Structure 1
């Protein structure tokens, strides 16, 4: 593949992720039965993070500049957050409601298509680097903050964005106790940590393979 083709493909893929992700988020909110509730979802927040990360990355690529540490950080966050979105929705939330019309499409894009595109981008286009394990804790900071803020808000006004953060009522409304909420939070934190670990190991494995090829 020509040396000029790969950067163009990367740029096109970045812009595609931004356009599809951003439009999907807007439509997903607008066509939601309760748009205000939709804006509280981690799925929406993380897809916006992904959209703007790849927008800014695309702008940097068009300028012919190298991506800085901050963009690399958000791209790694994007990969981990999208993996959690896909896994959480597929295994915990798919039975939570029925969708119709445009919402069917946006529900698919924010939970499945964008996560797959972000993974493909990492696999094909991103330069692999050797990250220290402490980066895992940087990557999980926002999800942890989101969970804490959502729980505090729930204590104040009784609203919880997800059933597994709600100590009141039984599944599918809530999980029955603060102990169960805490266990869910620990489980999710564990998933984020494992995914961060896998990302670090994936980078190192690709670097090792490339080094052996060049040797």
Structure 2
């Protein structure tokens, strides 16, 4: 299903749009691969609830997330580090604005013409608490459950959020051009991330995730 786990360890941003530079991309990429597989290996082999809570909880706070960002933020959907980073970003975005995220998700559900809300695991009603729990459950599932299923759920979540962002952008267009443009950009980022996470799920299943 996936490759042999490797060794080292680490800990995991404040922003949905984070970008980090590196002087030696090759070395940083190798380290990103090693640390992501080592972290996954540790969580799955130890299965200690305290370890799981610490790893999943990193996305909700500031401590540790900067370290993960520095190593994983540039990695693409072809790598475990890249897809895990995207899951942390989704959880982090909700932690930063649960009410706003819930509003976008509700709008996206109304606009959706697919089963994405069901795949993502939408609850009724969608509240700030339920959307936070949803993203946490997806992240937890990546470490403890079926990685492919977790990535597919995250991809569906992103598609719903993209639709919600676009819907709110339309509503804000005549009132606030700048805010509408920001929301349109956010819709595009969510859509792009959906494609990336879906590709990551496919790679996990065929054993080509780096």
Q: Using structure 1 for the length normalisation, give the TM-score.
A: 0.35
Structure having the higher Rg = 1
Q: Using structure 2 for the length normalisation, give the TM-score.
A: 0.36
Higher normalized helix content (fraction of residues):
1
